[in-house]
Structure 1
Amino acid sequence: MTSSEPSRHERRRRETRERIATTALTLFGERGYDAVTIADIAAAADVAKQTVVNHFPAKEDLLLAWHRPVEADLIDMIDQLPLSTPLPQFLKEELPRMFAGLSELPDEPQHEDPRIGADERMAGIAAIIQNSPALVDALQLRGGRYQEELAAILADRVPAQLGPVAARAISAFILTTVTAMINEAMRLRGEGRTPQEIADTLVDTVGRALDVLDAGMGPAAEPAA
């Protein structure tokens, strides 16, 4: 075994995590998110309840194992951007591409049923979310944490005279735009549009929204004489 290969312990840990995630997704689909407990998932996956919690500290993490939020990817990308990169232009170019790829399967759980395609799985996840007020609330709380995280990053990017309040406002604007675009991408996919068609449709839409951001992040106007 080379140093780049996972150890036996790590392989078993991944297998356990994948089994838990697969079991949870199946139970959520069959019974609904709100009706399934951590104890139910542990029993069905044949692991201890604490093992589930060790791998997935929050219940919504069991669903997000199958679907990394676009917001998380976007924050990571913005955090790695050089300060010289204009943020609005970057978002205009990258957001449509990200939305078009929403139907792609995530990387983490790898032992899914091969008979289930990406679109079918994503449709199932969307249905689970829509039918669970508790899950919607949990994801909204998580969205608030994303907003604070992005605001902290943007505080280093916006003009110094705007300060932390502007960073929070810009963060809220970006993430609200992302949410609106996700909803639109899901609607377009439901109509049978291809990823390329979705990207093409969203380019103009997201561009108009981000023109507002671009104008708002420009130099402050000189006061009238």
Structure 2
Amino acid sequence: MSGENMSGEMGLRERKKRLTYRAISDAAIALFLERGFDAVSVAEVAAAADVSKPTLFRYFPAKEDLALHRFADHEDEAARVVAARPADVAPLEALRRHYLDGLSRRDPVTGLNDEPGVLAFHRLLYGTPSLVARLHAYQGRSERALAEALRGAGVEGLAARLAAGQIVAVQRVLAEENWRRIAAGERAEDVERDAVSAAELAFAQLREGIG
């Protein structure tokens, strides 16, 4: 078999895996939104996605992962931003620009999104303690990935870990504040100005120290 054919088959398998991954998660989230996370079994999700339970667990090791794959996609995002930044841009400045761009794009991860589907998903997430706890594990992995990227950018040892922890925590708090206001009935376009100001304040504190 030629290298081109092998590459094509590998590409096809990878596309099929991504489609299966997405189909399972979409089926799960639809059931969770309809009936609540705790009321839906893994077996019901597998049946709705037309896969076996062993297949489901190959893609999603825990039930909580079925709902949180959207955050998993962002797990190493901050690390990638630092690694891909231009040589003349400091890591923190690259992250600030990326976060502000996310606000302008209404990236759901920033909390600044009032689309009905996003609102429903966030209510499911923040209203389910086991999902909130699992999200913290995702954030821990995000911190570790970011710390490694900061070390690659010249930040040494414990300083990289401390900086990563502070940055991930700041982004979490900003997103939670945006979500809190939108969940209370405000529109994203009305929250955006304050969200940008809060982000600028937060990154200024990171840059200059709390004092």
User: TM-score range with shorter-chain normalisation?
Assistant: 0.7 to 0.9
1:135-180 per-residue CA deviation (whole Å, 9 max, x = no partner) reads 1111111211111121121123355xxx311111111110111001
The yes-or-no answer on 1:43 pairing with 2:47 is yes
Residue 192 (structure 1) aligned to one of 177, 187, 190: 187
Could you tell me which residue of structure 2 aligns to residue 211 of structure 1?
204
TM-score when normalising by structure 2: 0.77
**In structure 2, distance between residues paired with 1:141 and 1:85:** 30
Deviations 1:164-210 (A, max 9, x none): 1111111111011100111123245441132xx55433332222222
Shift of 1:129: 0.9
Task: Show the 5 A alignment for 1:17-56.
Answer: 17-56=21-60
- CA deviation profile, 1:29-73 (whole Å, cap 9, x unmatched): 122223323222112222100111222233333223445565542
Alignment pair present for 1:202 and 2:206: no
Structure with more contact order per residue of length (Cα contacts < 8 Å, sep ≥ 6): 1
Answering whether residue 143 of structure 2 is matched by residue 147 of structure 1, we say yes
- Which residue does the alignment assign to 1:86? 90
| CA distance 1:91–1:199, shift in 2 (3 Å) | farther
Which deviates further from its counterpart, 10-19 or 41-50? 10-19
Q: Which has the higher helix share?
A: 2
CA contact (8 A) 1:100 1:198 kept: no
In 2, Cα distance between the equivalents of 1:61 and 1:134? 11
- Quick one: structure 1 residues 66 and 170, their matched pair in 2 at CA, closer, same or farther if it must change by over 3 Å? closer
In the TM superposition, what is the alpha-carbon distance from 1:80 to its structure 2 partner? Answer: 1.7
What residue number does 1:138 align with?
134
Percent of paired sites with the same residue? 28
Asked if 1:120 corresponds to 2:116, the answer is yes
Give the structure 2 partner of residue 110 of structure 1: none
Q: Structure 1 residues 9 and 174 mapped into 2: Cα distance closer, same or farther (>3 Å)?
A: closer
- Measure, in 2, the Cα distance between the counterparts of 1:153 and 1:132: 32
Query: In 2 relative to 1, CA 181–69 (structure 1 residues): closer, same or farther, beyond 3 Å?
Result: farther
RMSD: 3.1
* 8 Å Cα contact 1:130-1:136 kept in structure 2: yes
Q: TM-score, normalised by structure 1?
A: 0.73
Question: In the alignment, residue 45 of structure 1 is paired with which amino acid?
Answer: A
Which has the higher Rg, Structure 1 or Structure 2? 1
Where does residue 174 of structure 1 map in the other structure?
167
User: Does the residue aligned with 2:188 lie in a helix, a strand or coil?
Assistant: coil
TM-fit CA distance, 1:4: 7.5
Query: Aligned partners of 1:147, 1:14: CA distance in 2, in Å?
Result: 25
- The one-letter code of the counterpart of 2:124 is I
